[in-house]
Structure 1
Amino acid sequence: MIGPPGCGKSTFAGRYPASWRVCLDEYRLAATDDMTDQSATPVAARIQELLLDARLSRSLPVLVDATNVFAHVRAGLLARARYWQRPVVGVLFDLPLKTVEDRNMSRDRVVPPHIVREYHRLLPTPGQLLNEGFATVYSASEFTGQGAV
C-alpha cells in the first residue's frame, strides 16, 4: 500500500486477516508505547523485515501497512519480494488531497497537516510503480469514484 497518512490504508488492511498485516505503527507502539514515536522506526523496520521474510518464505500473503511514499522504501520491499521470488501488487491511495486532509483531521491520531501534504506530494503514479517493479498496481481512486490526484 502506498499513500499519505489518513488516506485509508489501515481501514483497507482491516478487510483482510490480521495475520497478513505488517504495520510500522504497531511495532513503534510495541517498542515505545507510542505509535507516533518516529525514533522507534529503525526498530520497527527490523521487526517488519523479520515478519516479511517469515511470511514471504512461506508464500503467505502480506499487506505492508505503512506510507511507502519514498522510492527507497519501496525498493527495499521490492528487493525482499524478488529475493523470495514473490510478485508485488501495489495499492496506490491516490485520493484528492482535500479528502485525505479531511480524513486525517477526523482521526483520533491526527498527523500534522504539513506532513500529510508533503507525503501526498510524494505519491508516485501507477506508471512509476510499474517501472519500479510492481507486477500490478491498483488505484484506490478507481474503487472510490473520487478521482485520482
Structure 2
Amino acid sequence: MVGPPGCGKSTFASRYPASWRVCLDEYRLAATDDMTDQSATPVAARIQELLLDARLSRNLPVLVDSTNVFAHVRAKLLARARYWQRPAIAVLFDLPLKTVEAQNMSRDRVVPPHIVREYHQLLPDADQLYAEGFAAVHPVSSLGVTAVTARS
C-alpha cells in the first residue's frame, strides 16, 4: 500500500486476514510500547523484512501497511518481491489532501498535519509506480473503496 497517514490504509488492510498484514506501527509498538516512536523504525523494519521473507518464500499474500511514500522504501519492497520471484502490486491511496486531513483528524492517533501534507506531496502516481517495477497498480480514490479482492 502507498499513501499518506490518515488515507485509510489500515482500514483497508483490516478487511483481509490479519496474517497477511505486516505493519511498522505494530512492530514499533512491540519494541517501545509506542507505535509513534520513530526511533524504533530500524528494528520494526527488520521485523517486517523477516515476516516478508517468511510469507513470500511460501508464496503467501502480504499487505505492507505503512506509508511507503519514499522511493527507497518501495525499492526495498520490490527487491524482496524480486528475490522471491513474486509480483509486487501497489494499492495507491490517491485521495485529495482535504479528505486525508479530515480523516487524520478523526482518528484516535492523529499524525501532525505538516507530516500528512509532506507525505501527501511525496505520493507517486501510477506511472511512477509502474516505472519502479510494480506489476500492477490499483488506485483507491475515495474512502471505503475496495481495490483488491482477497483470495479465499
Secondary structure of residue in 2 paired with 1:110: coil
Q: State the alpha-carbon separation in 2 of the partners of residues 39 and 88 from structure 1.
A: 28
Any idea what the Cα deviations from partners look like across 1:28-87, whole Å, max 9, x if unmatched?
000000000000000000000000000000000000000000000000000000000000
Contact 2:59 2:86 in 1 (8 A): yes
Q: What is the distance in 1 between the residues matched to 2:89 and 2:41?
A: 24
Question: Match of 1:11?
Answer: 11
Question: Deviation of residue 14 (structure 1)?
Answer: 0.4
Distance 1:142 1:104, change over 3 A: closer
Cα–Cα, structure 1 residues 96 and 115, in superposed 2: closer, same or farther, change >3 Å? same
Q: How does 1:46-85 map to 2 (within 5 A)?
A: 46-85=46-85
In structure 2, what is the Cα distance between the partners aligned to 1:44 and 1:10?
A: 17
What pairs with 1:1-149 in structure 2 (closer than 5 Å)? 1-141=1-141
CA shift at 1:143, angstroms? 7.8
Alignment partners' CA distance in 2, 1:62 and 1:7: 19
Q: Percent identity?
A: 83
- Alignment gaps of 5+ in structure 2: 146-152
Instruction: Give, in angstroms, the shift of residue 144 of structure 1.
Output: 5.9
Query: How far apart are the structure 1 equivalents of 2:88 and 2:103?
Result: 27
**What is the RMSD of the two structures over their aligned residues, measured on CA atoms?**
1.2
Equivalenced residues, count: 145
Residue 109 of structure 1 aligns with an amino acid whose one-letter code is R
The one-letter code of the counterpart of 1:83 is: Y
- Residue identity in the other structure for 1:55: R
What amino acid is the match of 1:13?
A
Residue identity in the other structure for 2:104: N
- 2:10 partner SS: helix
Report the secondary structure of 2:141's partner residue: helix
Instruction: Tell me the CA shift for residue 17 of structure 1.
Output: 0.2
Q: 2-side partners of 1:2 and 1:16: how far apart?
A: 17
Q: Measure, in 1, the Cα distance between the counterparts of 2:23 and 2:142.
A: 24
